[in-house]
Structure 1
Amino acid sequence: MFELTRYDGRRRVRGSIYLSIGLSLLAAMVIWVYPSFRAEVDLDQLLSAYPEPILQVMGIQTMASLGGFLSFELYTFGWVILLGLYLAYSTAGTIADDVDRGRMDVLLAMPISRTRLVGERFAAVAVPVVVANLLPPIVVYVGAELIDEQLAAADVIAVHLFSIPYLFACAGIGLLASVVFDRAGIAQRVALGVTFALFLTESLLTGTDAEVVGAIAPMRYYDPNAILLEGSYDLAGAAILVAMTVALLVAAQLWFARADIA
């Protein structure tokens, strides 16, 4: 039981550790530059110089506090955009790569259903999602203490915990692309394009008459600003992301169960 999950999970461990270290280094760099940035730059004047569409797309509310600075420089850029795109891209090769390379026939010869195969391969995505969120919160909290800035430990933990359902939803987009397209390269490009298009859709339509369209974007339901600046935890949004992930997984399983594997 879960043989494929264990096999795929072990293969992802090393890369996930490197990913966690890289994100931790990014967090350390952002915290390290904050004191000099705050001392030398009029942050309110800097924000007023940004065009409103840029502020809206990047979700910038304030950079006058470490929480606001981290929300923009680290979490919006590093987690919402980069990590979300990475999970969508890497998961898009989960099924398509085996089909593309002619290995899927061997897997389907095993006494395992297609739906279970998709489910177990997707479950292995938990390794990078979880490992990527283990070291960075420690670096963020300790780094804030070292520069004499106050960040609530609960908020630092929460901003990472609430990113987990968001990242799984992004991975779900990649999984669906992986079963719809039998060429890994195409599936990965589609997953990247769709995920980034959803980010832009949510960012640009917020506050407009077409705002409801952005409800399909996972980015609507994960807001680092609300957590770090207001201490507000969107439990309903997390539940929606879980439901979105389940829907994408079921859709991928149903599609693959009926797919003709050439």
Structure 2
Amino acid sequence: MKSTLILAAALAAFTTSAQAQTAPAPRAAADQIATKKGPLMVQPITHGSVVFTWNGKTIYVDPYGGAAAYAGLAAPDVIVITDIHGDHLDPKTLAGLSVGKALMIVPQAVADKLPAEYKAQVRILRNGQRLDTLGMQVSAIPMYNLPEAPDAMHTKGRGNGYVLSLGGKNVYLSGDTEDIAEMRALKGIDVAFVCMNLPYTMDVQQAAQGVLAFKPGIVYPYHYRGQSGLSDVDGFKKTVNTANKKIDVRLRNWYPAAQ
């Protein structure tokens, strides 16, 4: 009887351990945004990583944080990567995902650092270039630090922000940038993902003023973990909506594992 109890306890412990290893990481609920070609599903993952599902296609943005964060999601048809830093270009996460059939849209600096096994899947876009593929348009937008300097963490031309045009909706992904003129000059942005984390990108007030300049219909603060912890996204929302109540500021938990 005693040995049976010991065996049962061991089996229960093993099952619990296995479940803990295979359970998907917690993540915020997905949002749905209407487009002319069906709903755009927006799934926050973590930090600067998000997954879009639209028109039968799945798009991964800066896959990072480990493959478990993507458990239960469809394999990507397209992967866009903004920059060379490890929270954007994460070979370990890529290696754990089913990315063999995905088109990878990246800047040259990322292409230079990708493992050789992905080279045939890569399409390089430089700032100002556009790619039409799989029924969508992908435009590369500058992202960089101010003031411009050769030793800046993000130099102009190295990385890409992106505008994805999906069924009549324009979706802007800021990447790691500050409140640059190119962002302020954007037109017709329906959905924006805007970073705010010091000292790598911009502070909350810079991000708010940039958003108020280009007036997206919806804005998600993302990529808001910095050296001093998480940025004040509630303050961002208050600043934006005090000046412009029409902008739908959507606060989502991009760091659920930290809770």
**TM-score, normalisation: structure 2:** 0.21
| TM-score using structure 1 length | 0.21
Instruction: Identify, as 1 or 2, the structure richer in helix.
Output: 1
Larger strand proportion, structure 1 or 2? Answer: 2
